[in-house]
Chains A and B, each alone.
Chain A
């Protein structure tokens, strides 16, 4: 929040009645705890300042001029609160006893005959209520001017949520307060009164001799009055104002949001109590207040009716990363999550039948007995959808599948809101509505898995999931649903789930089928068909099949452009993907062209200072880097880093990734010291913000160590490798490929540092792990095998080394696709072994193969081509082949074009 926004918020808070200010700030700050603390500090300071500066202040800006001196015989002290339909004053009574009361009076113009009639009926009921946690209604009547009023007990308390936070209450105390609140509401229900506006500012906590006591205020008044004012205000142009007035979409049950006033009963209050409990437990409301504030009326209704908020334990875990939050999250997980979930069920019939039942469950928790609520909410929903779908999936299996695929699917479903609109336009077929439900499930599962890095899930124990996916796949193939969209979507989801565990062999065919099936049935430009295309292309690219991925991505881009227009975010995202894959294929010019188009479009749309704009600038820079225009690339990245630092903060993962790229360019430019410094800073930030064995942290450690190694600083490289390896062994699953990769890099450093004997076991370990988890013929396994073989050769056992080599090279030549650099590494090591074994001819032929591939991959001027030529020159010299030596030497120096002298 910038200075201006901060001042504005403080000022607006000061315009609220004092006891509502903190709650107001909470509602505006949402998860932004930093801003919340800053503004509340200022608020407190402002209160202190009032005394200090009073003398100088001539005008008191927030005293309304219209404040009357007296209403219904009570002296008006000041305004307590203000709503669309009326005002609440603090008033002083002298009879029957001297006391302060709250006096609520209806604004002229809001008192229609209808309102008055209901108001009167309600008044009698209110008089009957007598509960220590309900603000007593003393009197109701009509002023001389004809405005209805109510005189109530004045409660000098603070909103329950504010109280919990301010007093830093423990869990038990919070729940005790909520239990009492539930009982108070239940008392009212028994008298036939529904509150309808249960929210923090209407549940105040006062301190009595018996400890903190909640007091429910504003009882029933809301019901009598808001019926008409809701409709009136919905038409008012100033929507923010309207929201302040009706105030509480956050606490509004779905049945009320849809406007069916007839369907509202006491369970509406149970829902609101659930939200209140949520907020007391999690420290933040279930729905992001900022988002609710932005949403249109229709969107608001959709959120309230359809969206499942994260469970309190998940929400609290996202508020902060300290141990305190983690502990609170653990305390909430399970029973308290369930209680909140039960109270907040979208379907009233599934909620607690009464506020008393909710109180009873809270009491059970307090007494350590098993609660009645169970973990049914989310599962029930999924089951319900499945039963509607009438597919014979095993419910439990599909649920797990959905949960596990959630985090991935979300990527593809990122644009679901727009797609949903398109679907509605295309026709309201029942299946499509059901698919919309699917998206909700995705939402739900996504919220459960939010914050988990999908790459982190890879390498974890996936055996169970693999089994589940296998079952799901078999089911799907044996009984494919008739509707092509349904079957296609299921294939898409299962395929994506496979992708999330790195099982590309299973993912790919499913995604191909999903793409083909939906393309045929729905047309290639149907949103869901495009999702399938996109997913397929992404998986192709991730598996290094760039040549195959590119046309698909280009197709997705064309289709999206046709469907959404050329400047739509989804179209631009596709074009960006096209650019990135072109870059991977070494087509840097056309990659730059794509990225530049994306960049210019985003600039037009969002301006220069925008995260998306500079992200495409980063991509453009990487294409320039590929074209050899390092200096320009570097300047672009500097700009990206400047903007990202400002917008996202210095620890944001995106910024760190950009700086990582910058370090790479510096390295290419042989500005090694700067590259090292950049990596060091990135590493420092990552050490701070990431868990100790986060893959991204480990990879930076390994990269930096590699750079140290190349710059000859083995003393710096070794401990870093060692540290990374230790972290990987502790934090990653056993026998993990990433651990093996670090072990291998470390082993190479040890080997280069003449510590071959220490390197050997690490090479051996790396080879074993990679073989085990990826298979002996996987490219990575081939690398590990060849490196190990080379080390064995270097240690003197050239026979064993040569045997190993003969076994793997033929496989490598047939297996390895596309990725040229990989084959270069392999041939390099292989040649080394031959050379060590004295087989210079064999070494030469391997190096010639390497040279040819290098030229193909990065051109004759590339580093790999030259290093191959250099070694060939050396070997030719050793064999006395002068002419060949001359040719290779010149090639190594870049003096002569590739043999044949053509291009």
Chain B
């Protein structure tokens, strides 16, 4: 090949340059055409299914595009069109489960989702009775997640302050590395850790809401550290230097300048961390129990139900009514998570630091 680099083969280059190209409307037109033809054929055989339709449309589009492009534009452009179609397909493929989860949860959840469902507990309700709700689970979720937040926010934010403002050398690298590693701890291992801790401190059989909160805090701390660290790094250096120049001590600079400037970002990060742990199930099954039926506000006494565990427990019971309750609770949980995400976005947007 090295001999040809100085003199590229003349005729081929000319052929490449004079090759035609497919019109701009080719792709959308072909996609629409293959989609409608496939739909028509499927309807004619009365075997219409969304998945089958999407699959056949994609295959038809790919085959026709590549053959047409090889004929008219040449092999290289054809490969490019092929990859483009695949890449678009990957994205659509990822959207399928998202849409499907949200759709099935909404559809199935609406059957039982009501003010009644949200406002009563399962106290005195037999598993197969057409009654009961998730009030006790909402209470448990709020209490446990609230306590986990109270534990992990100070530790997480202070660690981020340490990493950004103070730490140097080996300790900084060790903490950064192990915070990363900690994000990968399986949630069930965090639950087992608290089970082991509680067995040593109090003996077996003393699990309660507080132990569940500690398990969630173990999962939440690294997330808070990560997001807070990023936000603190966004604070302009000039702000700190201006404060030092006025003779303000370092700790006052951090508490009065750095933290207020990044407050919106910190809050957003904390909300996202809450949204992440509020759906955790495995550690709660191990710690707060999965059989509580009544309202319990006391974190330090007895089992506590929570929304995710409620879903799991109802599915384990397996009856039709149980599945209905599980879907409705899943809808509740998704609404809570989406609300947190939405609030986080709003806070991040409304209170973003004004650097100019």
Pairing of A with B = no
- Chain B positions near chain A (C-beta within 8 angstroms): none
